[in-house]
Amino acid sequence: MTEDLNPRMPQRSRIDHDQVKPRRGRSRGRKGEQLQVPEAEFRSYYGRPIIKAPVWKNPDVPLYLFLGGLAGSSSVLAAMAVATDRPTLRRAGRYVAAGGAMGGTVFLIHDLHRPSRFLHMLRVFKPTSPLSVGSWILSPFAAFATAAAGAEALRPYLGERGTGRFVQRAGDVAGVGAAVVGPALATYTAVLISNTAVPTWHEAHRHLPVLFAGSAAAAGGGFGLVAASVRDNEPAARLAVAGAVVELVTEEKMTRDLGMLADVYDKGRAKTLMTLSKACLAAGAVGAVVGRKKRWSAALSGLALMAGSALTRFGVFDAGIASANDPAHIVVPQRERIRRREEAVQAGTTPPDRHYVPAAGN
């Protein structure tokens, strides 16, 4: 895998992205002329997409990505809040972990094109399918998080003695269970989208887990800032700021390493979303550092951090759709790969691994 990303990948200058047909749009555009432009830097079948763009629904899937991160990191905050006696942070974390897990499950099921068969997700366990693994991560997480939130909800009614005490201890144990699974829920979604043929997602498979972990930390910490008291919110602020910094740095590194594949982040809705995301994250991080000790500024900063995290997911999702619809994203990097392989063959370093003879003169 180490050779797939070439920092010196040729930049395209003459490709008009707007000429790339949208997936279902037929009979528009000027495709017939494309083959008559010999100076174009890559060839394609009338400019049509080569791979199929994901049929995942928007906003279901990006929202699921966001909620998974939010719930995953919140569950850890809640469990640690139990250990360090921060009741408001514990309550916030437990409720949002359960809400995020349930909301995410609803969005996942709604995203299915045959929702009544959602239980088919659990008929096998396939390590080769990130969606199967994810289903098996989400299910126990949702169970633990819901149990912890249920104990939290019963606390005012049962008190801390007798049955109440037992329920609270059970809730604590369930909370620890959720906290153990939670981080996996936050990062497996990176594997989910990078284990596809979508170039912008696949080639970022080293960056996306870190990006999503940072995004999850920003979201979970952000919600802690929104919902926890000033007395309890310091760990949430720390986590959120660290997450925002990691997310901003990783996003920058990802777009650099992607080379020409990053052009989808520089245009259209993905650009708007990512720009807004960076602004929200930066503002929220600064606000969290400066204004944590005031209730209203802490809440505002938390909201900004959560918004930044969500916008990142939407931006990454949009960029992937645009990448899948752009034949240049398939042809240009793959041609470059072939060229470098042929160079290596000529240098006599590795054996040829393709049988066909490259076309003469082209």
Q: Does 350 bind another protein (CB under 8 A)?
A: no
* CB-based burial label for 192 (10 Å; 0-12, 13-18, 19+): buried
**DSSP state string for 237-281:** HHHHHHHHHHHHHHHHHHHHHHGGGGGGGGSHHHHHHHHHHHHHH
Of 238 and 271, CB closest to another protein? 238
Cβ pair 113, 55 in contact under 8 A: yes
Q: Are 333 and 9 in contact (CB under 8 A)?
A: yes
Closest approach of another protein to the CB of residue 163, in Å: 29
Q: Round to whole Å and give the CA distance between 92 and 248.
A: 26
Helix %, strand %, coil % of the chain (to 5): 70, 0, 30
8 A C-beta contact, residue 61 and residue 104 = no
User: Between residues 167 and 250, which has the closer beta carbon with respect to another protein?
Assistant: 250
Contact flags string 144-173 toward another protein, x per CB under 8 A? ------------------------------
Q: Which residue, 38 or 348, is less far from another protein as judged by CB?
A: 38
Quickly tell me which residue has 């995004």 as its tokens.
215
Closer to another protein at the Cβ: 167 or 251? 251
Calculate ∠ Cα 329-208-310, nearest 5°: 105
Between residues 144 and 167, which has the closer beta carbon with respect to another protein?
Answer: 144
Q: Please choose, out of 166-174, 271-279, 310-318, 353-361, the segment that lies near another protein by the rule CB under 8 A.
A: 353-361
Residue 37 touches another protein, criterion: CB under 8 A = no
By CB under 8 A, the residues from 242 to 261 that bind another protein are 242-243
Number of residues that bind another protein (CB under 8 A): 104
Residue from 16, 19, 22, 35 in contact with another protein (CB under 8 A): 35
Query: Which residues ranging from 291 to 330 are in contact with another protein (CB under 8 A)?
Result: 320, 324, 327, 330
Task: Identify whether 10 is preceded by a cis peptide bond (ω within 30 of 0).
Answer: no
Per DSSP, 211 falls in state: H
Cβ closest to another protein, residue 71 vs residue 167? 71
Question: Could you tell me the smallest distance in angstroms from the CB atom of residue 303 to another protein?
Answer: 19
Q: Which is nearer to another protein, 179 or 307 (CB)?
A: 179
Told to check if 200 binds another protein by CB under 8 A, we report: no
128-152: b (≥16 Cβ within 10 Å) or e = eebebbbbbbbeebbbbbbbbbbbb
Nearer to another protein, 83 or 249 (CB): 83
Please pick, from the candidates 3, 18, 39, 85, the single residue that binds another protein as defined by CB under 8 A: 85
Shortest CA distance to 80 belongs to which of 284, 187, 212, 234?
234
Out of 96, 142, 190, 298, the residue judged to bind another protein by CB under 8 A:
190
How much is the CA Rg of the chain, to the nearest whole Å? 24
Residue 157 CB, shortest distance to another protein, in Å, is: 27
Interface residue with another protein among 143, 191, 262, 344 (CB under 8 A) is 191
For another protein, give the closer residue by CB, 24 or 161: 24
We find the least distance from the C-beta atom of residue 316 to another protein, in angstroms, to be 14
Give the position of tokens 């990097």: 333
Q: Measure Cα distances from 150 to 70, 95, 136, 144, 167 in Å.
A: 19, 9, 21, 10, 9
Stretch that binds another protein, among 12-20, 34-42, 148-156, 302-310 (CB under 8 A): 34-42
Question: Is 346 a binder of another protein (CB under 8 A)?
Answer: no
Nearest by Cα to 326 from 207, 198, 227, 195 = 198
Contacting another protein within 92-131 (CB under 8 A):
111-115, 117-118, 120-121, 123-124, 126-131
The reply on whether position 263 binds another protein by CB under 8 A is no
